[in-house]
Amino acid sequence: MGLFDKAKEFIKGELIDVVEWLDPSQNIIVHRFERKDNAIKNGAQLIVRESQVAVFVNEGEIGDVFQPGHYTLDTNNMPITTTLKSWKYGFNSPFKCEVYFVNTKVFTAQKWGTPNNFYVRDQDFGRVTIRAFGTYSMQVSDAAQLIRKLSGTNSEYRTSDIADELRSVIVTNLVSTIGQSGKSLLDFAASQDQMSKLCEQKINSETDYGIQFTKFLISSISLPEELQKKLDEGTGMNMLGDMNRYQQMSMADAMKTAAANGGNGGGGMEGMMGMMMMNQMMQNQQNMMNQQHGYAQQGYSQQAAPPPMPGMVQYYAYVNGQQLGPFPIQTLQQMIAQGQVTGDTQVWKQGMAGWAAANTVAELSQLFGAVPPPPPPPMN
């Protein structure tokens, strides 16, 4: 074998003869096949796996796009590339060409969100600032277009590289879709699926990056904090439509809170608040019954109403710098047992000239005597 033949064999051995790519990650959209000087041997094997396409670029121009399959690379099956370059070295000579593998699988669970508040005009609340969040799935629909528009000559192009651009497209079309829908913010929860599909269609029709959205979801639309508080208050007022049910639920919660705090011996503000709520519910119930009885006496109701409950003596208490109450004596007794009210606690009731220490009021002083002393220390 002559020197020329040895050199030829050496060159052929240095050239790549298998062109393929195995995706090591879950977020690479485009990968450039690396080869020194981009030299590929004629007759090399090209392996394009499912969920891939291979794009050949010669001297800056896109040539062939190979779909999934196994190919032998020669001048007979690369008609576009051979028109871009003269094969002056013959059939067995190398050629230089960039190969880009484009991942055509569906990229799922991509998150989006509005970076800032944006304004919408609502039929109920007028001009309102809102924010929105959700997810989307996307897939490459035109590999050549993606390389032309976005990835260019980058060695790798990932989902994070396109995230900001897609977020801008999403927000623009989301604001437009919400504005054109004419739906009230109060109806968004029931129509999020419909709004999501409208946004998906709009984005796909106006995006020419070679990428399409296979799914677009609006997971939440957040209102300004002040408006949300008003809506929550409105929900509470609606609950008051069934006052009896509301009071029963509230009283049950208050009793659970009081029992829990009483059971562990801690008391504290939670227990006090629980007893206050329970006392307030009792007062509301009595007021309602008194009101119903008054209506019955005046002929506003034909149904018989029960007589009013007998009057209960109730005291206000000054605890931790706050005026609380009024409490019936039974509640004060529980508060004394838990250490929330002491003999020095200032109390007042209707008819008293002023505030006085609880242990100086005759009907309360006996409650302190009924409280057992603290338990003795444990024996060593």
Q: Which residue has the higher pLDDT, 282 or 376?
A: 376
pLDDT digits (tens, 9 = 90+) for 287-298: 555 554 454 444
Are the CB atoms for 292 and 309 separated by under 8 Å?
A: no
For the chain, percent of residues with pLDDT exceeding 90: 28
User: What is the rounded CA–CA span in Å between residue 344 and residue 341?
Assistant: 8
Predicted confidence band at 306 (pLDDT cuts at 50, 70, 90)? Answer: very low
Amino acid 87: pLDDT: 40
- Kindly report the CATH number that applies to the domain delimited by 107-223: 3.30.479.30
Say if strands 156-158 and 28-33 run parallel, antiparallel, or are unpaired.
antiparallel
Q: Tell me if 107-223 shares its fold with 311-371.
A: no
The position carrying tokens 């990835």 is: 151
Nearest Cα to Cα of residue 196 among 182, 177, 172: 177
- Where exactly are the structural domains of the chain? 3-103, 107-223, 240-289, 311-371
- What band does 12 get if pLDDT is binned at 50, 70 and 90? very low
Q: In which band, very low, low, confident or very high, does the pLDDT at 7 lie, cut at 50, 70 and 90? A: very low
- Please, which pLDDT band fits residue 170 given cuts at 50, 70 and 90? very high
Q: How many of the other CB atoms lie within 10 Å of CB of 170? A: 24
Interior/surface letters 261-273, b for 16+ CB within 10 angstroms, e for the rest: bbeeeebeeebbe
pLDDT band at 368 (very low <50, low <70, confident <90, very high): confident
**Considering only CA atoms, which of 255, 248, 186 is closest in space to residue 221?**
186
pTM for the full predicted model: 0.54
Contact (Cβ atoms closer than 8 angstroms) between residue 140 and residue 103: yes
In angstroms, the Cα distances linking 38 to 32, 41, 94, 152 are 10, 10, 10, 16
330, pLDDT greater than 60: yes
Please report where in the chains the tokens 């003869």 appear, as a residue: 17
Burial class (CB in 10 A: 0-12, 13-18, 19+), 217: middle
Q: Dump pLDDT digits (tens) for 45-85.
A: 999 999 999 999 887 888 889 999 999 887 555 544 444 44
Backbone angles phi, psi at 116, to 5 degrees: -135, 165
CATH for 311-371, among 3.40.50.300, 3.30.1490.40, 3.90.320.10, 1.10.530.10? 3.30.1490.40
